[in-house]
Amino acid sequence: MRGLLILVVVLAIALVVGDRVAVTVAQNEIGRKIAAEYNLPRQPKVEIGGFPFLTQAVDGTYREIDIQVGDWTDQDISVQNLDVTLTDVSASLGDLINERTSNLVAATATATAVVPYDVVRKYAPSEVESISYSPEGLRVTGTFPVDGLSIPAIVVVTVAPTENGIEVTPVSAQPATGGPTISLALLRQNLTFTVPLQRLPLGARLTAIEPTADGLQVTAMAHDVHFSDLP
């Protein structure tokens, strides 16, 4: 009986070790594919959720795969803390091990990232001096033309996802050091601008934007994602 118990324990350990080896191979291959397709300076960290991995591999479906990219640049727009979560993924273990990740399909891809405020400011009018987070909302300071005068002002703006990217729109304004009332309509004409970040990797289009202390926290989503369609 003792010998049988030892055999069972050894087999269980072998299965666990084999499971972890298989998941590591699959994660590395997905990371390699993403790094190659997007010319990333380093391979992203990939985590395939669920245990054991081999039961998912046999079935060819994976509940969740998390891809931690970090910094990412596209069309001269850089974001930080880029993380992509794939859900309900279909791919056989043979495809992953034999480097056929192009066969991988995900029902959804949800990407999150932070757009630093210095990146946002690059696309703002030249009168904008700073962009920062405040309890009242996203705050823009600068010196703006009002009826032929240059007035230092503090402007609260909103941000929203559009087909062209992140649209920044003034919603309130006040002189920085006192002075004449500033026309909000005029500011909207001169201070509304767009950061041309339309999507994140895997074709995920922007769906939500939230100002934070570190920058704009953006969320993007894509559905029915085929790795064979990667650029």
Q: Which two tokens stand for residue 154?
A: 């503090």
Q: Do 107 and 179 have their domain in common?
A: no
88 sits in the region (left: phi over 0; alpha: psi -120 to 50; else beta) called left
Beta carbons of 109 and 85 less than 8 angstroms apart: yes
Range of the domain at 154: 124-195
Q: Do 13 and 99 have their domain in common?
A: yes
**Residue 61 burial (CB count, 10 A):** 14
Is residue 217, in this structure, part of any structural domain at all? no
SS3 37: helix
- Give the residue carrying structure tokens 């069309």: 75
127: CB partners within 8 A, 6+ apart = 142, 143, 144, 145, 190, 191
Q: Do 63 and 155 have their domain in common?
A: no
Q: Do 83 and 161 have their domain in common?
A: no
Q: Do 17 and 100 have their domain in common?
A: yes
Is residue 229, in this structure, part of any structural domain at all? no
What is the model's pLDDT at position 76?
Answer: 84
Q: Do 97 and 132 have their domain in common?
A: no
Is residue 36, in this structure, part of any structural domain at all? yes
What is the model's pLDDT at position 183?
Answer: 75
What pLDDT digit, counting tens, does each position of 101-133 carry? Answer: 667 788 999 999 999 999 999 999 999 999 999
What pLDDT digit, counting tens, does each position of 199-217 carry? Answer: 888 889 999 999 999 999 9
The list of the chain residues with pLDDT below 70 reads 1-23, 25, 50-60, 92-102, 178-180, 228-231
| CA 194/CA 185 separation, integer angstroms | 17
**Residue 63 burial (CB count, 10 A):** 12
Q: Do 7 and 107 have their domain in common?
A: yes
Q: Do 109 and 173 have their domain in common?
A: no
What is the model's pLDDT at position 151?
Answer: 81
What is the model's pLDDT at position 12?
Answer: 36
What is the model's pLDDT at position 180?
Answer: 65
What is the model's pLDDT at position 144?
Answer: 82
Is residue 151, in this structure, part of any structural domain at all? yes
Q: Do 76 and 139 have their domain in common?
A: no
